[in-house]
């Protein structure tokens, strides 16, 4: 087991290469990391046997090699392609051994051959079986074109290590890896592949050394050689060449017939419609001719791995097969000397490319390799054109299929052998085949195989022999188009929903902002606006939206009464000031107390963390605080938050007792409370000059701070911890086990936690609702005044109001909202048969009204019913316990007056004297009237 | 009819110039709380109470209230005979000189299938082409009686015929048929109170035709019919609900059964409770949107036929009944046990003392004083303090069936 940690510098260049590749930008960093790292695992395999034939492997050797050809990094793809391989590696050995038949076979082939290859002298071409591969291997010395860039880690490896020791193994592994990757990818939509334009690649790859054999007239563009300068010139002037050139200059993607996946032989610039066709091409004379030519020219020979060409929309995706380059390297024997021998030693390598990414590869080989001379200055690090030493020609047909199966085609078992008739000639040699099912003839054994696997044949077989045979539905071009359309539509749909989601989120955020606005406004109201009648108007929406199209209800008599009452019960400025002072003093003192406690408790210096002193009133801030909490676990007192009327902004005139909740990291104990209570006066003294009395109240789990200055506001600081609630949900036993002996009263702590949730809920739901806060204040006053109503808890009242107002349509005026509350209770919502009030702040369905007795419910309902009728019959002042307001002093016509009189304007002349305020209201009303006029 | 009797519909709507001046106030009715409409906002926090006994009691009560088959048969027999006679008069205009009949239509509870036992009265509206003089009506009555006697020599003798303000009534021992006389709309302007029947009554009879047509088209669900019967029974037994007219009850029943988000008719128990809830929540209080009369042009809120005092009365009676109901007093409410005192006297249900609601409405005089003081400042006050007489006029216009079914109780 050897661990290789790749030095980062080696990766530096690849990094840039990556960034240059737009297609990869989208790739996750992890992938990118894989990408950069990937060449290495493979290379490492190669190189270490080369050097030492031991598992001890210095990566650096390899790095140096890699660095030299750094130029070649301008072909970024080189790094991408390996990525799949890497993934495959990480994907656990299982893939290689069990899940991957590909690998197994490959390995089998490899092992089988190895004995054979081992003793062999360098550059031995192994046997006829693989002849066809041999010459593709010959291409290796050539400088890599973009294909190679993609491509084969193997080529890369060979170039770097200078030897290609166990190509078979590599081939196997890579084929396994890539086909695994392939499958994975194929399983997904093809469209997700990184978009690549293979067509542009060759030109990027251009910076190669001059061709070695200029005596040949070779046209790079068309990849043909010409017999002489004359023909060459003619060719260059020819239409065909120009077309091709133009197409290339335009960086056009290679012309791909059909809109679907094709396999492409980069060398010949030929696209094949299927794996079989591709295999046939590779075996074919034309391809071999080209290979020969390129070899002669010393041109880079792309691997025989097909490049998958997909055209979906305008993105062309090329995914080369990483696998078979090793195989192709076989033929390179002319120029290379393979000294390597392989021995079968298991080496499990663990390659760590970056701290976060670990590659685990399992190999079963130890190889030795000899360096071979570099044939060519390879711009490609990967493809440093080293004639790899082929020991291995073992790529057999079996593998071939697998290699080529990158279209995601299902490998089907050939069926209906028995229906193939062999037609023999006189000598008894098979000259052709006849398929009885399909009534067709062919004379190539390969074609026979292809035919047996072919769709047409299978269809016939299904029809005539075995109806159970599964024939893959081959999408026709149209079907394919439909399919593509579907995919596109799907993606559009997804896009649409994503956008929708974004919009929603955006709207939510806007809402949040709005809420914050309300909140600010409310506070502003509280602090400054209280004086005039303007302050009575209650929360106003953000202005500046211009006169909205919505119809605002004119202020009714009910509204006026409610607003007037609201103004009357609103706390005075002195009170607000006093409360503000004591709260901020307490908060600051608590923070310091927290610091002190943390210092004394935790010897570890913690990073200074602010306990949020700012308003604990906005949701955002609270969450922020929550987020911060985990950061310092040592601190006992984690934060202080305002709850109750203070947080909700429901302070009334005369409310001088406010509540804070201190969140502790553990269950708060009596000891903690006392420590706090001891420390608090000192801290209070430091933060303020005012005198405060600190009283501990253990049974309430609280400390009560009272100001000695008039009007003697007091602040109750309750200790609690989220842990208390968790304990609640689990078994009672665990609670008793874990609890410190002097833990504070659990009910009180839970109540404090609930208060916290209620405050959050309130800010989220009630604060932004027009009229809601006003009506809650009014009802709070009612609950304080009327004994019948005192049974209705603050929380259930808030819930009730919110539900009523939110369900009552937008823009309820305060008067309407109040009436609606009474209506709601009148219709029996809290009566025994009613639905109750669902508490949104509890995990289990909870009735917020559960504590009321039936008599209380009855009385409350009766009272609300009477109040409702009082409101309806214009006696709202009785409900609000105030004097009836005189009607606004607008000059009005008597009822009997004909409307005409208004138009004379005579009446209006006298109206000018009306008070300013009224006039303003009048204007408002008039515009509203204009809006409402039907 | 615009806004009559209700809060202001907004005067000066057409005012062309918007100079700053007296504020203009459009009447935007308040939509009262309706639990069924906001069920999603009020998810059940506790299990629903057992409803079975209540439902059974409702159904039993309905059976009790439905007229028996003989009753129905006798009414039907009488109605069909009279209908035949009147139809003959339509077909042969020359047979009867005093008046010409344009059309004969059945209306009312018999036609709608909501007739109650013990009240075997069917209504037929006779639309005259000629002016409905009192003499003509009497002559028509006599004519019908004669024909009936010819048709049924024996039974016909038992029949009595009485003329009244709205037409005439034929009664046998078991059943009676009210023939409501009206005339074609063009004639309504020509009516002379001295010579003819009252024009308002004529109009109400025309409205009755519209009502039965609307009912036929919209309220054929049996839940609605059952609920109508139950509510009528409630109204008959509890004095506080007397102001509810049959037409209001029909609309309310339709509203309670059908009008909710899913449009699926509610079960009878839910619908009955909902009716009380709606009344309690002030559906028929001033300022509320109420129920718009589907058979009148414009938006006429059906409850404005009731005076403010009556509105209050209906509301607080319903509120008391709702509370009694929620404490388990459905038998008393349905009249299966006890008496109507639960609506007016304190009662105890499982230890819970239910105090009947008291009226909130204050006397008109005081309001009018205020109104004087306020110089008619607040229009809605003015609207609400319309004289009772005015209301009654409106009532007779909009709600003919007060007459039509007036003596149902």
Disruptive mutation site among A846, A868, A902 for chain B (greatest number of B CBs within 10 Å): A868
- In the sheet that holds A347-354, the strands lie side by side as A2-5, A347-354, A357-363
**Residues of A with Cβ-Cβ distance to B322 under 8 angstroms:** 827-828, 831
- Among A442, A489, A435, smallest CA distance to A458 is for A435
CA-to-CA distance for B7 and B1, rounded, in angstroms?
A: 13
pLDDT in tens, B237-275: 999 999 999 999 999 999 999 988 887 889 999 999 999
- Shortest alpha-carbon distance between residue B211 and chain A (Å): 29
Report d(CA A49, CA A366) in Å as an integer.
6
Instruction: Read off the pLDDT of each residue in B333-357 and give the average, rounded to a whole number.
Output: 87
- A657-664 and A430-435 strand pairing: unpaired
Query: What value does the mean pLDDT take over residues B382-402?
Result: 41
Q: Which residues of A235-257 are buried (b: 16+ CB within 10 A; e: fewer)?
A: beeeeebeebeeebeeeebbebe
Run of H or E residues at B403: helix B401-404
Most confident of A196-200, A318-322, A431-435, A633-637: A431-435
Peptide bond into A711 cis (omega under 30): yes
| Pairing of β A657-664 and β A714-720 | parallel
Strand, helix or coil for residue B51: coil
Distances (CA, A) of A295 to A162, A267, A385: 19, 11, 12
More confident residue, A199 or A427: A427
Give pLDDT tens digits for B67-77: 999 999 999 99
Which 3 state secondary structure label does DSSP give B160? strand
The secondary structure of residue B49, as a DSSP letter, is: P
Convert the pLDDT of each residue in A649-687 to its tens digit.
Answer: 888 888 888 888 888 888 888 888 888 888 888 888 888
Q: What residues of chain B, 208 to 267, have a C-beta less than 8 Å from chain A?
A: none
Residue A338 pLDDT level (bands cut at 50, 70, 90): very low
pLDDT-based confidence at residue A475 (cuts at 50, 70, 90): low
Is A379 strand, coil or helix?
coil
Contact list, A930 vs chain B (CB under 8 Å) = 18
Among residues B336, B332, B363, B367, which one has the least CA distance to residue B349? B332
**Is there a contact between A537 and A563 (Cβ–Cβ < 8 Å)?**
yes
- How many Å apart are CA A404 and CA B383, to the nearest integer? 91
Interstrand relation of B121-128 and B176-183 (parallel, antiparallel or unpaired): parallel
pLDDT: which is higher, B53 or A118: B53
Residue A805's CB: how many other CB atoms inside 10 A? Answer: 28
- More confident of the two residues A867 and A744: A867
pLDDT-derived band at A640, boundaries 50, 70, 90: confident
Phi, psi of A242 (to 5 degrees): -65, -40
Distances, alpha carbon B153 to alpha carbons B87, B149, B150, B162, in Å: 20, 5, 6, 20
Q: Nearest-CA residue of chain A relative to B23? A: A922
Total CB pairs under 8 A between chain A and B: 231
- Chain A residue numbers with beta carbons less than 8 Å from the beta carbon of B355 are 862
Q: What is the Cα–Cα distance from A694 to A704, expressed in whole angstroms?
A: 6
* pTM value > 0.80: no
Coil, strand, or helix at residue A357? strand
Token readout for A774 is 């006003």
How many angstroms separate the CA atoms of A655 and A505, rounded? Answer: 38
Of the listed ranges A756-760, A823-827, B11-15, B216-220, the least confidently predicted one is B11-15
pLDDT level of residue A906 (50, 70, 90 thresholds): very low
Which residue in B has a C-alpha nearest to residue A888's C-alpha? B377
Determine the distance in angstroms separating the CA of A746 from the nearest CA of chain B, rounded to an integer. Answer: 25
Taking the C-alpha atoms of residue A365 and residue A507, their distance in angstroms, rounded to an integer, is 60
3-state secondary structure of A24: helix
The span from the CA of A810 to the CA of A804, in Å, is: 11
Q: How far is residue B268's CA from residue B330's CA, in Å, rounded to a whole number?
A: 13
Compute the half-sphere exposure of residue A225: CA atoms within 13 Å on the CB side of its CA. 18
Residue B116 is encoded by which pair of tokens? 């109650």
C-alpha distances (whole Å) from B227 to each of B224, B273, B324 are: 5, 10, 19
Contact B21 A824 (CB under 8 A): no
CB pair distance less than 8 Å for B13 and A934: yes
Degrees, nearest 5: CA angle A844-A847-A852: 145
Can you tell me the distance from the alpha carbon of B208 to that of A160, in angstroms, rounded to the nearest whole number? 103
Q: What is d(CA A149, CA A73) in angstroms, rounded to the nearest whole number?
A: 9
Give, as one character, the DSSP assignment of residue A77.
H
* Number of Cβ atoms within 10 Å of the Cβ of A531: 9
Query: Is the Cβ–Cβ distance between A843 and A790 less than 8 Å?
Result: no
pLDDT tier for residue A473 given thresholds of 50, 70 and 90: low
Grouping H, G, I as helix, E, B as strand and the rest as coil, residue B198 is: coil
CA distance A883 to B212: 49
From chain A, the residues in CB contact with B31 under 8 A are 808-809
CB neighbours of residue A121 within 10 Å: 8
Q: Name the residue in chain B with its Cα closest to that of A861.
A: B323
How far apart are the C-alpha atoms of A568 and B230, rounded to whole Å? Answer: 47
Within 8 A of A932 by CB-CB distance, chain B residues are 10, 26, 28
Q: Is the pLDDT of residue A557 over 80?
A: yes
Inform me whether the pLDDT recorded for B108 exceeds 80.
yes
Q: With b meaning 16 or more CB within 10 Å and e meaning fewer, what string describes B160-188?
A: ebebeebbbbbbbeebbbbbbbbbeeebb
How far apart, in whole angstroms, are the C-alpha atoms of residue A473 and residue A487? 18
A 10 A CB-CB count for A817 gives 24
pLDDT in the model for residue A166: 43
Q: Residue B168 belongs to what H/E stretch?
A: strand B167-171
ipTM of the modeled complex? 0.84
Given the structure tokens 């405060």, which residue do they identify?
Answer: A692
């Amino acid at each position: 087991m050897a661990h290789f940690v790749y030095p980062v510098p080696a990766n530096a260049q690849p990094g840039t290469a990556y960034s240059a590749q737009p297609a990869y930008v989208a790739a996750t960093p992890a992938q990118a990391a894989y990408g950069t790292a990937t060449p290495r695992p493979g290379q490492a395999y190669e190189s270490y046997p080369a050097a030492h034939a031991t598992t001890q492997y210095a990566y650096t050797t390899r790095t140096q090699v890699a660095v030299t050809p750094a130029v070649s990094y301008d072909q970024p793809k080189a790094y991408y392609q390996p990525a799949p391989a890497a993934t495959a590696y990480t994907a656990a050995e299982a893939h290689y051994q069990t899940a991957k038949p590909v690998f197994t076979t490959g390995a089998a082939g490899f092992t089988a051959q190895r004995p054979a290859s081992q003793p062999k002298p360098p550059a031995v071409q192994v046997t006829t079986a693989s002849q066809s591969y041999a010459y593709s291997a010959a291409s290796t010395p050539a400088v890599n074109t973009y294909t190679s860039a993609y491509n084969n880690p193997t080529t890369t490896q060979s170039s770097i290590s200078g030897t290609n020791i166990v190509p078979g193994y590599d081939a196997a592994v890579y084929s396994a890896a890539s086909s695994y990757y392939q499958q994975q990818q194929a399983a997904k939509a093809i469209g997700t592949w990184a978009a690549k334009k293979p067509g542009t690649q060759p030109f990027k790859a251009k910076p190669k050394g001059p061709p070695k054999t200029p005596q040949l007239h070779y046209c790079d563009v068309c990849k043909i050689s010409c017999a002489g300068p004359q023909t060459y010139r003619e060719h260059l002037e020819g239409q065909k060449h120009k077309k091709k050139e133009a197409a290339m200059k335009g960086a056009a993607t290679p012309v791909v017939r059909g809109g679907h996946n094709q396999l492409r032989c980069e060398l010949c610039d030929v696209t094949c419609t299927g794996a079989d066709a591709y295999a046939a091409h590779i075996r074919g004379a034309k391809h071999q001719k080209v290979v020969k030519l390129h070899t002669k020219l010393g041109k880079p020979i792309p691997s025989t791995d097909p490049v998958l060409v997909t055209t979906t929309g305008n993105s062309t995706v090329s995914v080369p097969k990483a696998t078979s380059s090793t195989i192709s390297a076989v033929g390179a024997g002319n120029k290379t000397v393979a000294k390597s021998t392989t021995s079968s030693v298991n080496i499990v390598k663990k390659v760590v490319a970056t701290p976060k990414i670990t590659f685990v590869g399992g190999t079963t080989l130890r190889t030795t390799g000899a360096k071979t001379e570099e044939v060519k200055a390879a711009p490609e690090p990967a493809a440093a054109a080293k004639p790899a030493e082929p020991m291995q020609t073992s790529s057999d047909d079996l593998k071939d299929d697998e290699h080529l199966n990158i279209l995601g085609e299902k490998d089907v078992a050939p069926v209906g052998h028995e229906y193939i008739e062999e037609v023999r000639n006189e000598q008894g040699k098979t000259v052709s085949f006849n398929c009885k099912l399909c009534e067709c003839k062919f004379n190539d054994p390969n074609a026979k195989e292809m035919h047996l696997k072919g769709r047409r044949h299978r269809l016939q077989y299904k029809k005539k022999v075995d109806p159970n045979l599964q024939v893959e539905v081959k999408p026709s071009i149209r079907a394919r188009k439909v399919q593509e359309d579907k995919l596109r539509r799907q993606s559009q749909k997804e896009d649409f929903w994503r956008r929708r989601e974004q919009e929603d989120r955006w709207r939510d955020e806007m809402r949040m902002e709005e809420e914050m606005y309300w909140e600010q406004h409310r506070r502003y109201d509280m602090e400054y606006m209280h004086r005039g009648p303007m302050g009575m108007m209650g929360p106003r929406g953000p202005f500046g939206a211009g006169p909205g199209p919505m119809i605002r209800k004119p202020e009714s008599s009910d509204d006026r009464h409610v607003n007037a009452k609201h103004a009357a019960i609103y706390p005075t400025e002195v009170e607000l000031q006093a409360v503000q002072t004591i709260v901020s003093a307490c908060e600051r003192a608590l923070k310091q107390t927290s610091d002190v406690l943390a210092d004394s408790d935790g010897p570890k210096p913690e990073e200074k963390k602010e306990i949020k002193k700012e308003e604990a009133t906005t949701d955002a801030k609270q969450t922020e605080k929550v987020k911060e909490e985990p950061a310092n676990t040592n601190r006992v007192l984690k934060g202080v938050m305002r709850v109750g009327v203070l947080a909700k902004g429901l302070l009334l005139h005369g409310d001088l007792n406010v509540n804070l909740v201190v969140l502790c990291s553990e269950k708060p104990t009596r000891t903690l409370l006392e420590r706090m209570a001891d420390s608090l006066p000192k801290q209070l003294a430091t933060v303020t000059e005012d005198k405060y009395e600190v009283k501990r109240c253990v049974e309430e789990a609280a400390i009560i701070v009272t100001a000695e200055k008039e009007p003697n506001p007091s602040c109750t600081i309750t200790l609690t911890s989220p842990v208390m609630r968790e304990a609640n949900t689990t078994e009672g036993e665990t609670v008793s086990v874990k609890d410190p002996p002097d833990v504070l009263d659990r009910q009180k702590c839970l109540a404090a936690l609930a208060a916290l949730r209620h405050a959050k809920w309130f800010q989220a739901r009630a604060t932004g609702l027009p009229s809601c806060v006003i009506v809650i204040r009014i009802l709070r006053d009612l609950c304080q005044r009327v004994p019948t109503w005192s049974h209705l808890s603050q929380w259930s009242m808030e819930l009730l109001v919110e539900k009523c107002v939110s369900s009552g349509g937008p823009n309820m005026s305060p008067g309407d909202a109040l009436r609606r509350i009474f209506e709601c209770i009148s219709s029996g919502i809290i009566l025994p048969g009613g639905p109750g009030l669902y508490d949104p702040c509890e995990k289990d369905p909870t009735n917020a009204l559960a504590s009321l007795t039936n008599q209380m419910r009855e009385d409350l309902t009766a009272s609300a019913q009477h109040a409702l009728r009082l409101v309806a019959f214009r006696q709202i002042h009785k409900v609000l316990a105030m004097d009836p307001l005189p009607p606004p002093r607008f000059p009005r016509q008597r009822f009997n007056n004909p409307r005409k009189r208004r138009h004379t304007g005579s009446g209006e002349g006298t109206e000018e004297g009306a008070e300013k305020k009224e006039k303003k209201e009048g204007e408002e009303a008039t515009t509203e009237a204009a809006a409402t006029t039907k | 009819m615009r806004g009559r009797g209700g809060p202001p519909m907004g005067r000066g709507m057409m005012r062309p110039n918007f100079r700053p001046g007296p504020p203009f106030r459009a009447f935007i009715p308040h939509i009262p709380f309706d639990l069924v409409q906001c069920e999603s906002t009020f998810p059940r926090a506790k299990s629903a109470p057992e409803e079975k006994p209540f439902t059974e009691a409702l159904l039993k009560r309905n059976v009790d209230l439905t007229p028996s088959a003989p009753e129905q048969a006798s009414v039907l027999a009488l109605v069909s005979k009279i209908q035949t006679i009147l139809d003959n008069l339509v077909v042969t205009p020359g047979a009867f000189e005093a008046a010409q009949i344009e059309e004969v239509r059945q209306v009312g509870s018999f036609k709608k299938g909501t007739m109650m036992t013990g009240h075997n009265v069917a209504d037929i509206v006779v639309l005259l082409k000629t002016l409905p003089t009192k003499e003509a009506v009497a002559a028509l009555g006599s004519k019908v009686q004669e024909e009936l006697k010819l048709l049924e020599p024996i039974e016909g003798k038992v029949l009595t015929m009485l003329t009244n303000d709205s037409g005439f009534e034929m009664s046998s021992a078991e059943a009676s048929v009210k023939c409501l006389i009206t005339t074609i709309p063009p004639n309504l302007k020509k009516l002379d109170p001295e010579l003819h029947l009252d024009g308002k009554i004529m109009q109400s009879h025309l409205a009755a035709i519209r009502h039965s047509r609307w009912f036929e088209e919209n309220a054929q669900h049996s839940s609605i019919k059952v609920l109508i019967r139950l509510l009528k029974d409630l109204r008959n037994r509890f004095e506080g609900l007397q102001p509810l007219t049959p037409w209001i009850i029909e609309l309310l029943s339709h509203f309670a059964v059908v009008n909710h988000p899913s449009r699926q008719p509610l079960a009878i128990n839910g619908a009955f409770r909902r009716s009380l809830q709606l009344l309690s929540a002030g559906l028929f209080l001033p300022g509320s949107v109420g129920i718009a009369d589907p058979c009148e042009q414009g938006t006429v809120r059906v409850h404005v036929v009731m005076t403010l005092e009556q509105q209050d009365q209906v509301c607080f009676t319903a509120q008391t009944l709702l509370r009694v109901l929620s404490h388990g007093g459905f038998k008393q409410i349905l009249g299966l046990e006890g008496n109507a005192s639960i609506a007016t006297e304190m009662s105890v249900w499982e230890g819970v003392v239910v105090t009947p609601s008291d009226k909130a409405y204050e006397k008109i005089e005081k309001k009018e004083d205020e109104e004087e003081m306020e110089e008619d400042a607040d229009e809605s006050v003015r609207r609400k303090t319309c004289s009772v007489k005015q209301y009654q006029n409106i009532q007779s216009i909009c709600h003919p069936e007060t007459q039509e079914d007036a003596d149902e109780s």
